[in-house]
Amino acid sequence: MIFELNGKNVSFEAIPSLTLLDLLRNEFGLTSVKKGCDQGECGACTVLLDGMPVNSCLILSPQVEGKRVTTIDGLSENPLMIELRDAFMENGAVQCGFCTPGMLLSSYSLLRDNRNPTEEEVKMAIEGNICRCTGYVKIIEAVLDAAVRIGPD
């Protein structure tokens, strides 16, 4: 089976009982996709599926056939992601870092569709990403700061 991973077509052996999360980590070595609760609660395994954030631990690998999967690795040169990353670092929004890839992808998806979000909208966008260090205040500040940096258009 073939799907698009970070801009490149890749083929893989679709084992139904293998989740997208395990496929990405074990077969493709993308350990930026974190395995937290493995039950769709914590958001550490967030990836973009056809551009939308999803929990990769809840998706069976054959279900991604023909789809587009993006992890933070695929957005390393992306201008919006660069601003977000800088804003996270400068605002102290990273503590242990385990939730950070998922937080970045959820925030990226928000700012891509809404360049001037309210604090409430930021909270809604990251409600599926749990930070065990409880650094939410800094994370929200970082996302709002990134929105200022990228400007209105």
Partner 1 sequence: MSINNHNTHILPKFEYYSPKNIEEACKILSELPEDSKILAGGTDLIPKMKEGVLKPKNIINIKQIQGLSGIQEKDNCIIIGANTKIRDIEKNLIIQKKADILHQATKKIGSVQIRNIATIGGNICNASPAADGVAALIALNAEISIIGVKKKKTIKLEAFFKGPGKTILNKEEILTEIKFPVPEPGSYGYYCKLGRVSLDLATVSLAVQLKMVDEKVENIIIVSGSVAPTPLRLYNIENLCINKKITNDLIDEVAEKISREIKPISDTRASADYRYLAIKGLAKEAFSQILEKSRGTR
Positions that interact with partner 1 (CB under 8 A): 16-17, 19, 38-41, 43, 46, 49, 52-55, 57-60, 62-63, 106, 109, 124-125, 127-129
* Residue that is written with structure tokens 């350990």 in the block: 31
Pick the closer one to partner 1 by CB: 43 or 135. Answer: 43
Which H or E element spans position 10?
Answer: strand 8-11
- Least Å from the CB of residue 87 to partner 1: 20
CB-CB contact of 106 with 128 (8 Å): yes
| Min CB(38)–partner 1 separation in Å | 4
The nearer residue to partner 1, 18 or 80, going by C-beta atoms, is 18
Give the strand pairing for 2-5 and 68-70: parallel
Q: How far is CA 81 from CA 2, 61, 73, 109, in A?
A: 26, 26, 10, 10
Nearer Cβ to partner 1 (52/89): 52
Comparison of 55 and 71: residue with beta carbon closer to partner 1: 55
Give the DSSP letter of residue 146: H
